[in-house]
Chain A
Amino acid sequence: MPFATQTLVIFYNKKIFRQHGVSVPKTWDAFLTLMKTLKDKGVTPLANGAKEGWTLEILSGVIAPNFYGGTNFYEAVTRGHTTFRDPTYTNALARMLDLRPYMPQGFMGVDYATMQQLFLNEQAAMFIGGSWEIGFFKQQNKNLDFDVFAAPPERADQIPWVSSFNDGNYGINAKTPYMDAAMKFIRFTATKEWGQMFTDMLAQMSPVPGVVIKDPVLLQVQAMNRKSTPYIMLVGFRWQAPTGSTLLQSALQAMMAGQMTPAQVGDEVTRGLSAWVDSFRR
């Protein structure tokens, strides 16, 4: 029984946005202009760093789908019609490089905990991450006035893609001597009562149908999910070693450090995955 779904978004500090007279950008170019405005005024636009590879995979999960075309590309690559060498994908990764000037000084050494601290202490205007942070942010700094938006697409008339995934499941060990009790518990996790508590107390998106979300930030996340796409490596390419995530995370670090081009990242990931993805073998 799944317990939560997660969505990858951009968090922003509403107070900092108001102070500097900027608003949520509708296009990628407006997003870059907004960050330049903030930087010129002495504000660190993004809290994101690159010391932990997984935060870069998240960053790619937020930024790239609008440029590689979301689920259409996901279907193509999982069905073996194309690979990660496809320029559609590597050009989308290249957009991550646009963000480097707006990340903290020395971002290559900024780890996840530092990213969170920068956003929580209002030292950075935005944090690119996952919806699981909502509850944590609220608990750590009750005065933090924040909201989320989806990564802006190229043109204002496009509805942005958001990456999402099923975060985990409750299951029963088939050999348990307490099958009745376990079944009773699992059934309870599928009830509206459980889902409502889960959502209200932890600010997490419950997969149970009919749960009413009250948290305004989580409501935004729910609205974005009308156009969601699978978080590509986690959903499609984590089934055998080396996983797509392992390969991508390290290669993205090299890309952000200027040691690899986006095309080389795509090649590296495809080569690594070809160990177990038959269609990637040329």
Chain B
Amino acid sequence: MRASRRLWLIVFLGPALVLFVVFVTYPILSALAYSLYAWEGIGRRGFAGLANFVRLFQTFPYPRLLAGAFWHNVVVFVLTMLIQNVVALGLALLLARGPRGARAYRVIFFLPVTLSLVIVGFMWALFLNPVFGVVNKSLAAIGLSGLARPWLGDPSTALVTLTLVNAWRWLGFPTLVFLAGINAVPDDYLEAARIDGAGETAVLRHIIFPLLAPAVTIIVTLTFIGSFNWFELPYVVQGVSGPPNRATDVLGLLFYRTAFGEVDTGLQDIGIGSAIAVLMFILMATVSTLGALYMRRREVELA
């Protein structure tokens, strides 16, 4: 009996475990190893200890690039929480009331999530083009041409613009997760609360929000990982150098271009690139584990 149970475990877990080890564990460990070697282009040279990390923290311009990129990841996380996830919560609360056309709205909000990120990036780059783009032309058409600017080229607007495009793309996902969480709240609880004389705000604060905590844990964790792993959209819209003057540089881009070379100035430096990757991994693994544990403790279980 015991033996056959063990066999079943191996049969079911084995394939997934093999894939995980080959495609997740091994690359992480090899990046760790790579970061401890000296490199010449993509050729590995001798063992270098922590020299790559020392270079990353001490040789101009790397410390400044690292700090700048990290800060931008923080900004993206905070803005995404404030804009994307708060709006998503609001939309979910509205949809949960079952307004006319709720199903249609649900589909509409989710549509951009189904678009390829590359398409989203190119489309918005065209919309935001200062010469041909529809955004500045629309502003001019309604008499607000004073507001028109090179959204993606102006150092003061580029990162925020990019974060908003990202929020536009992802909005439907947290909306659906929150909506599912709200719909999972048993009607008895709501009814009981209302019979006890609780108003709308009290129901929200004391019944819905506490029971929504698991959904919030998931969304916050995913937003954190998504923000600190951010690469595709900045890469597609802005290219690998985080222009203008690193205003849209994030850790993912910094890692990529130090490891594999910047466009047409390409010099690979796998050592320093791997060092950045290792730091990113440590940061994300630590923060998301601690964060999830903390948030999990605040969740309430349904009896």
Q: Which residues of A contact B (CB under 8 A)?
A: 49-54, 104-111, 114, 117-118, 238-243, 245-247, 249-251, 253-254, 257, 259-260, 268, 271-272, 274-275
Residues of B within 8 A of A114 (CB): 129, 131-132
Contact indicator B59/A240 (Cβ below 8 Å) = no
Render B142-174 as a binary contact track against A, CB cut-off 8 A, 1 for contact: 000000111111110000000000000000000
Neighbouring A residues of B263 by C-beta, 8 Å: 54
Asked if A104 contacts B245 (CB within 8 A), the reply is no
Note all chain B residues with C-beta closer than 8 A to A105: 130-131
> Are B61 and A109 in contact (CB-based, < 8 A)?
no
Nearest CB on B from A277, distance (A):
13
Q: How far is the CA of A159 from the CA of B60 in the complex (A)?
A: 38
A109-B241 in contact (CB<8A): no
Chain A, Cβ-Cβ closest to B161 = A109
Chain B hits for A117, CB < 8 A: 132
A sample of 28 cross-chain residue pairs with beta-carbon separation below 8 angstroms, ordered by A number, consists of A51-B150, A51-B244, A52-B243, A53-B243, A54-B264, A54-B265, A104-B131, A108-B130, A108-B244, A109-B129, A109-B130, A110-B130, A110-B131, A238-B265, A239-B267, A240-B267, A242-B62, A243-B262, A243-B267, A245-B262, A250-B245, A251-B245, A253-B244, A257-B154, A257-B155, A259-B155, A274-B60, A275-B59
Distance to closest chain A CB from B172 (angstroms) = 28
Q: Is the CB of B153 within 8 A of A110?
A: yes
Are A275 and B60 in contact, CB atoms less than 8 angstroms apart? yes
Residues in A with CB closer than 8 Å to B155 are 108, 253-254, 257, 259
Give the residue name and chain of the B residue nearest to A104 (CB).
Answer: B131
Residue B136 lies at the interface, judged by CB distance under 8 Å to chain A:
yes
Confirm or deny: B246 has a beta carbon within 8 angstroms of a beta carbon on chain A. yes
Nearest residue (CB) in B for A255 is B245
Return chain B residues, CB-CB under 8 Å to A110. 129-131, 150, 153
Q: Is the CB of B150 within 8 A of A245?
A: no
* Inter-chain contacts of A257 with B (CB < 8 A): 154-155, 244-245
Contact A238 B130 (CB under 8 A): no
Taking a contact as CB atoms closer than 8 A, the residue among B59, B151, B246 that contacts A250 in the complex is: B246
> By the criterion CB–CB under 8 Å, are B264 and A109 in contact?
no
**Smallest Cβ-Cβ distance to B40: which chain A residue:** A240
The chain A residue with its CB closest to the CB of B133 is A109
Please determine whether B243 and A250 come into contact, CB atoms closer than 8 angstroms.
yes
Interface positions, chain B 2-39, Cβ under 8 Å from A, are none
> Within the complex, what minimum Cβ distance (angstroms) separates B61 from chain A?
5
Residue B239 interfacial (CB < 8 Å): yes
Residue of B nearest to A272 (CB): B61
- Please state if B153 and A108 are interface contacts (CB–CB under 8 Å): yes
* Bound complex: CA A251 to CA B65 (Å): 13
What distance in Å separates the Cβ of B233 from its nearest Cβ neighbour in chain A?
16
